[in-house]
Amino acid sequence: MKKVLIPVMSIGLLSITSISLNLNFNDVSKADAYSIANLPTTINLNDTSKTDIRNYYSALNSLSTSERQGTNLLKNLKEILKNGQKYYSYDSNTKIWQMYEITDRDWKKSPASSTTYGSYDPSTNTITGYEYGSTSNGKNNPYIHALYNDRNIPNEARAWGSHEQDAWGINQEHIWAKSHGFDTKGSDSSGGARGDPIHLWAGNGWANHEHSNYFFAFVDKNQSYSDAGSKYNTVKGNLTGKSKNAGGSETVFEPQDSDKGDIARSIFYMAARYNYFSGSDTAPIDGNNPNLVLLNDLSENNKTGTSSATEAYGMGLLSDLLAWNKLDPVDEYEVHRNNLLFNNYTNNRNPFIDFPEWADYIWGTADKDGTNYNPDVTGYASPLTDPIGSGFTLSVDKISFSKGDTFKVSGSNADGEITWTVDDPNIVSLSKTTSVNDEEITITALANGTATIKASANYEGKLVEQTIFVTVSNAKKGVPKYVLYIAIGGGVVVLLALGIIFINSGKKKRKRMLSTMKKSVKTYKKSSSRRK
């Protein structure tokens, strides 16, 4: 059963070592900004400390509050994100694919200790002398945590496995479709937005094909839609269809729930890194350095080309992306990917993984189903005090259940014990009322009705709380399989008996039997017609 993560507040992952940062925000030349970097052979696997994350955004601290919200925040984030940024060639066989061995690795199936071409030191959590694989050698070939893959079945996607549109094949998925603003005509080895690894995830090839360049949005399941899993069961839950909230006839793509937030925050990053709200830029606005905006309509769903200083290109659907930012909050994998990129490859970060609430400070808010969009911003960015990262979360292994069912819940990232309460213990019971991080407790559904389960814990000196709303109903009673088997078997026996009787009957008897059967059919048809 897939787990549902619900955020309460945000918290960062503590690092083993700190990273020294160069906070010089002077612009660099176009040649430096978009040149292709080499891949490192010493890999730092540590997560960045809270202090260093806050320092990375410290250029915001001296700005007025109006400069730390709305499009002004996008403008000012751009100066931070582009400083010293590194790019990699977007082509069929080298750098981005090799980078996935580290950044998009499935760390459960391929832990650092399994590295063969390179030396892993657990005391420093680093790999030295790392040798990247390729399609032509048998070097490091880890499992990959690719977007769109079903997390409930054994993962067989590998860095140097299939790169085709098949069951476990993976592609390089541009979260912001490159045709929406930076579809350059030059060499694929050029740098810039198309080679920006923060939005260039490993993704299942078939689902990537189904996504095409459609906007991301909730799909209206009351209209005709298709599921990528109809061809490969590795990617169930990735849908194409009509927009649930924007309406219209445009086709949109809805990823599985576990990828919704990752995708939303990647798109938010692109709008922060590549925009022209300042009205000036040392590098020209072109296919490498596009002018991107987020839209809350589907007017540019089919628009393709390269943006300019006078023409921004859009992606959406904004209200749904804001909803996904909350529906699928930042998790440990996403945090680690952000830090691996920053420490080893890109030299910049995704601010919406570090501070998910900043999306609301720029674009406003929407409910978790994408409705009730309000463009009014809810606050302003404060890197010194805003909560960092994934936060205290609840993990629930079942969101719908019946009387007599049991299910598991747990909390993570709390500072100390987690306290559990239920408002009606006659509806559900708790196996315990206190737990520690990641310790599961069992909930038992006792009677029909609704109940509210609350979990509270301390976070950075504050008491925070999260709620699970529970509805218990009678289990649906299906017909046992053995009853169906008996009925089918009995019907077969009766038909055989009637056939034998019919064959052994005389000619007159057979005519009478056929006549009786025809009369019965006519009577049934008349009865059916009256019922309609």
Under the banding of pLDDT at 50, 70 and 90, the label for residue 268 is: very high
Instruction: Give the model's pLDDT for residue 46.
Output: 97
- Tell me how many domains the chain contains: 3
End residue of a domain, out of 347, 363, 379: 363
Residue 114 lies in a domain: yes
91 pLDDT above the threshold of 80: no
Instruction: Give the model's pLDDT for residue 506.
Output: 59
397 pLDDT above the threshold of 80: no
Tally of CB atoms within 10 A around 429: 14
Q: Strand, coil or helix: what is 434?
A: strand
Report the half-sphere exposure of 413 (CA within 13 A, side-chain side): 27
Which one has a higher pLDDT value, 41 or 471? 41
Answer for the pair 61, 384: CB distance below 8 angstroms, yes or no: yes
Answer for the pair 363, 294: CB distance below 8 angstroms, yes or no: yes
Instruction: Give the model's pLDDT for residue 438.
Output: 74
Residues 6+ apart with CB under 8 A from 294: 267, 268, 271, 314, 315, 316, 318, 321, 363
189 pLDDT above the threshold of 70: no
For 277-285, what is the mean pLDDT? 92
374 DSSP 8-state letter: B
Of 145, 289, 148, the closest CA to residue 209 belongs to 148
In a shared domain, residues 41 and 156:
yes
In a shared domain, residues 428 and 296:
no
In a shared domain, residues 146 and 233:
yes
For 355-366, what is the mean pLDDT? 97
Instruction: Give the model's pLDDT for residue 168.
Output: 97
Answer for the pair 116, 140: CB distance below 8 angstroms, yes or no: yes
In a shared domain, residues 346 and 416:
no
Which CATH number goes with the domain that contains 446?
A: 2.60.40.1080
In a shared domain, residues 446 and 309:
no
Instruction: Give the model's pLDDT for residue 22.
Output: 31
Helix (H) or strand (E) holding 275: none
Instruction: Give the model's pLDDT for residue 283.
Output: 87
Mean of all residue pLDDT scores within the chain: 83
- Lowest-pLDDT choice from 106-115, 144-153, 246-255, 468-477: 468-477
In a shared domain, residues 330 and 453:
no
For 459-488, what is the mean pLDDT? 61
Residue 506 lies in a domain: yes
Tally of CB atoms within 10 A around 200: 24
In a shared domain, residues 274 and 158:
yes
Residue 399 lies in a domain: yes
Residue 383 lies in a domain: no
In a shared domain, residues 486 and 467:
no
What digits encode the pLDDT tens for the residues 495-531? 555 555 555 555 555 566 556 555 554 554 444 443 3
Residue 382 lies in a domain: no
For the chain, the straight-line distance linking the first and the last C-alpha, in angstroms and rounded, comes to 42
For 84-110, what is the mean pLDDT? 89
Of 475, 381, 458, 384, the closest CA to residue 417 belongs to 458
For residue 171, list its beta bridge partners.
Answer: 203
7 pLDDT above the threshold of 70: no
In a shared domain, residues 415 and 507:
no
Residue 386 lies in a domain: no
Instruction: Give the model's pLDDT for residue 10.
Output: 34
Q: How far is CA 432 from the centre of its chain?
A: 32
In a shared domain, residues 142 and 65:
yes
154 pLDDT above the threshold of 90: yes
Joined together, the tokens standing for residue 10 give: 């945000």
| pTM of the shown model | 0.74
Instruction: Give the model's pLDDT for residue 520.
Output: 53
Residues spanned by the domain of 328: 14-363
Residue 512 lies in a domain: yes
